[in-house]
Structure formats: C-alpha cells, structure tokens
Structure 1
C-alpha cells in the first residue's frame, strides 16, 4: 500500500507537469490498476497524509499556480483555465482557500504563499502502538439505537457526540442493553455514512446503540443501520481516553494495513467500550475488511 500511495503521488505530479495540470486524476481507475479499491486507497491516503487526496491535489495545483503568477504569468484567466477553473472568480476562491491571499496580489507582490510540497510516504517497521487484532466473520446483523448527524472531529472529544449521549435518559441505556443480542456486545459507538477521505467537519451519522441479529423485531422509535455479512478486523487497546482510541485509529493505517493482506471495505466503524472512565478506556475498534 505504501508503494501504491507513492505511485499515486507520482501520478498527480505527472498530471501537474503536463499540458493540462487541472486535469482530474481518475482515482478509481488508478486503484483498480494497482489491485486495490478506491475506498481503501482514499481511506489510507487521508489517514496517513492528514488530508483527503482531493484536498492534497487542490493544494498542489494552487502551489504550482502561485509559482506561475510569481514568475509573471500575464493573464489570470489563462492560469485559471490551465488549472481547471472556468472563471477567474472560481480560481480566486480556490487560490485564497490555500494561500489566504488573492492571485492578483501574489502576481504583484510575490506573496505571501503557503506552499504544499509533494508528499512521500514511508513505512515505519517498528510498531509503536500495541494492538491485539482478531479477524472474525460475522453474519448479517443490524445496529440499532439513537442516531444523530455530527461533524467529524479528528482529535479530542467530539462535543456533539458528548451532547447527544448526555441528552439520553438513563433508562434509554438500560433499554438498549436489553435489546442487544449479538456481537459486538454491549453499548456501541457507531460512525456511518462518511466518505472515505472526508475532511474535518464533514457530517457523519453517529449512532449510540447495540447490535442485534438479522430479523430481530426493532422498536419503531429506534434508528437502524443494516449491516451485511462480512469480515471484520477487531483491534483491542487500552489507555488514556480519548487519545488511545485516536492513536489506535491512526496505527491501523500506518502500521497494520500496510503490513497485512487486508483492506478496508465500505461499512460502519464500531467502537465497543469494555471499560470507560473520564480518563481511561479499554476498547475494541471493529473495522469492515476484505482480502487485499
């Protein structure tokens, strides 16, 4: 996977070096040619780079465009069209979102600029995050509970999720525990409906609930996420909360997936808390996988 990601970086740079630097890179076709899926490729890129591949491409284009303006490109529209924008206004919005200044100002004054250098991925051969991993096949089941749309937060506690859970009365938790009847057992934190390379702040569906076997009669006032049969990688870890869980998420991308013959497939991610206090957690992270 590390080699595939670096090949993707090279493909992006080749496009930027060509006559049409604004031409889109066909990520789906690239993934197929490298024996993986677009979903897995985008998830791994975002996890390792800290940004979606679409954001990286936009930053690299605006870095190249800024260099042309500093070098004295005579017409803003010419530069805009070269980099895939149909108007100076659209180009200007994209340019300001990266450099926080207008293209015309950069052409006059040479800056200030925020440069995005070309990335290069490297694999650390020393595992830094202890992980106990189990691969398990599960029949179809459903996740049921109380769902809400929240923005994605990469670091720290998500206050929107906190508020959602705090608003549930104690009897709601007791009721959910009584309904759950299959693995993963117990109260679950479920994230669903998120694009594979979603940026910070992107909306996702968060469900506070339990797992039930297929065909279970679910109360009509609860939300339900059907889950098809498939294989799951279950990562177990314990430590400070929420840092341990967030490090575990990162370690799956940086250490486990590059070293194992599995890749992510579309589906919800599930966190099962075995122990949880304000400062400590023992948890399992369930990720849907398929042979890589």
Structure 2
C-alpha cells in the first residue's frame, strides 16, 4: 500500500541520518506528508514521537560504538548530535541507566531500541462510523494543562486531569458557562512540533465574560471527520483514536489539518458500556 511505502521512505531517511541534523520538514517530505500529519501519525502508530525515536536509536548506536571501539566519549557524543559531554551523559543515563564511561565495563547491561518497521493490518471486523462536516470557527472556554507525549505521559496526565476535574467540581462549574450540554476535550499545540502539548477540558461558549479560572480559545473553521465512540471512558475513546490513525487515515486521501482535535462528551454515564461520544479530527485532502 502506498502509505506503507511513504512511511518506510521516511524511516529510511531517519536511519540514514543518525549522524546528521535533520529537520522534521525533510522527513515529512520523504513521506509526502505535512510535518504535523507525519508527526501525529508516527506517534499514534508507534507510541513514540519522532524526536523520541531518533534519540533512542542514536543512543543505541552510541552505546554500541562505545562498547565495540576505543572512540572517546566526547567524539561519540558529537557524532550523534550532542553539543557537550554533559548533555550526552544525561541522555545516555536516562536510556541506559549508566554513564557513557561505564558502557565498556564487563557485564554492564545496555538497552537496545531496534529500528522499527510499519505494518498495516486491515482487520475489517468492526465498522468505523464517521461523517465529514464543515463548520465555522467557534470559541470554547475551559481549563488547560500542559503534558508530554514522551513515554505515554499524556495518557496518565489527561486521565488524572478528568478525575480531578470531576472531583473538585470543575466540570460542573464549566457546564454553567457553556452554550450547550457537551463537554469537550481539546488537544492543541502539537502543531508546534515538539513533544509537549496543551489539553483543555472545555465547552463551547457564546460569551467572553467567563470566570477567571477559565481561558478562551478559538477553534478555527475546518472540515471535520467526526467519529463515534461507543463504550466506557477512557478506554473506548483511546482505542478509537488508535483506529483513526492506524486504519482510517492510511486508507483515505485525507491528512490532518494541523489544528486542534476535539473529544465531544454528551451528558451521560461515561462508565457505561453503551456510552456514546465523538472524536473530531480536522482534515484536508492530500
């Protein structure tokens, strides 16, 4: 399938550039994709950001070189893109649990992160109900947290954020200022290209006169691919996100528009097996 060839071309470029500085724009071009769409697809398919994957691969190769040669630690650090022995040692220790100077010690255990490959599995055992809808820009009010994709920290942070927001009454207070009954999860900031992003618990509003605890954000006009999730939170919607990126995008002629994504939660028992909510993904034709 064409999508697999494109992603494999990007992986080949990454692997052949371990000793060079390469930007996400060049990598995305190899996949004939926008930088944002490539990064979002990569993260959803692999569970790692592009930057995280490249760090792990470079530090794997660096460890192998330290073990198998007499090259100085400083030279290895510079070869794999680190500007100083200190920054290299910090990253090396985070992955391998030891200092680079200890890598040559007999019996030391090192981590290895093999090169990944992409595979597309066409399951066909469950329909994906969706519709394409064009909507004008609108304003949301809500409360935000910063989180990171690294090591899946975002899943833990966002789950905790929702639990705390129900417990401390934030969701109830928000419902008193929004213009409909739906509570939103807003994912934004990924277009900046790093591993951190902003997540808001929010709702659509028709007024800018809101309590100080909330912030306002404009959701740009977009064509939305709207998918229905059925099942208890947060598992059902997380599985739906995975299917959108692993199955739907590769099989269609669309890519992510690079603007905020929405989770749309109607009133109801979010722990029920038949709870229905939606995922809104802004899209453009390739």
Q: What displacement does 1:124 show?
A: 0.5
Q: Distance in 2 between matches of 1:112 and 1:255?
A: 37
Secondary structure, counterpart of 2:103 in structure 1: helix
Q: 1:156·1:243 contact (CA, 8 Å) conserved in 2?
A: no
Secondary structure, counterpart of 2:176 in structure 1: helix
1:270 corresponds, among 259, 262, 265, to: 262
In the alignment, is residue 190 of structure 1 matched against residue 186 of structure 2? yes
Q: 2:177·2:210 contact (CA, 8 Å) conserved in 1?
A: no
In the alignment, is residue 242 of structure 1 matched against residue 234 of structure 2? yes
Q: Distance in 2 between matches of 1:229 and 1:195?
A: 16
Q: Distance in 2 between matches of 1:81 and 1:254?
A: 36
2:4 corresponds, among 2, 14, 20, to: 2
Task: Quote the residue 1:59 is aligned against.
Answer: 56
2:280 corresponds, among 282, 286, 289, to: 286
Q: 1:188·1:272 contact (CA, 8 Å) conserved in 2?
A: yes
Q: Distance in 1 between matches of 2:85 and 2:71?
A: 13
Task: Quote the residue 2:252 is aligned against.
Answer: 260
Q: Distance in 2 between matches of 1:223 and 1:283?
A: 24
Q: What displacement does 1:154 show?
A: 2.4
Q: Distance in 2 between matches of 1:143 and 1:169?
A: 15
Task: Quote the residue 2:150 is aligned against.
Answer: none
Secondary structure, counterpart of 1:176 in structure 2: coil
1:149 corresponds, among 145, 153, 156, to: 145
Q: What displacement does 1:56 show?
A: 0.6
Query: What TM-score do the two structures reach when normalised by structure 1?
Result: 0.85
**Residues 72/83 of structure 1: CA separation in 2 closer, same or farther (3 Å cut):** same
Q: Distance in 2 between matches of 1:157 and 1:149?
A: 8
Q: 1:176·1:187 contact (CA, 8 Å) conserved in 2?
A: no
Task: Quote the residue 2:99 is aligned against.
Answer: 102
Secondary structure, counterpart of 1:276 in structure 2: coil
Q: Distance in 2 between matches of 1:129 and 1:272?
A: 21
Q: 1:53·1:197 contact (CA, 8 Å) conserved in 2?
A: no
In the alignment, is residue 159 of structure 1 matched against residue 151 of structure 2? no
**Residues 87/125 of structure 1: CA separation in 2 closer, same or farther (3 Å cut):** same
Q: What displacement does 1:129 show?
A: 4.9
Any unmatched runs of 5+ in structure 2?
148-152
**Residues 170/38 of structure 1: CA separation in 2 closer, same or farther (3 Å cut):** closer
**Residues 278/156 of structure 1: CA separation in 2 closer, same or farther (3 Å cut):** farther
Any unmatched runs of 5+ in structure 1?
none
Q: What displacement does 1:245 show?
A: 0.6
Q: Distance in 2 between matches of 1:67 and 1:226?
A: 49
Q: 1:134·1:233 contact (CA, 8 Å) conserved in 2?
A: yes
Query: What TM-score do the two structures reach when normalised by structure 2?
Result: 0.86
**Residues 39/203 of structure 1: CA separation in 2 closer, same or farther (3 Å cut):** closer
Task: Quote the residue 2:207 is aligned against.
Answer: 217
Q: Distance in 1 between matches of 2:66 and 2:171?
A: 60
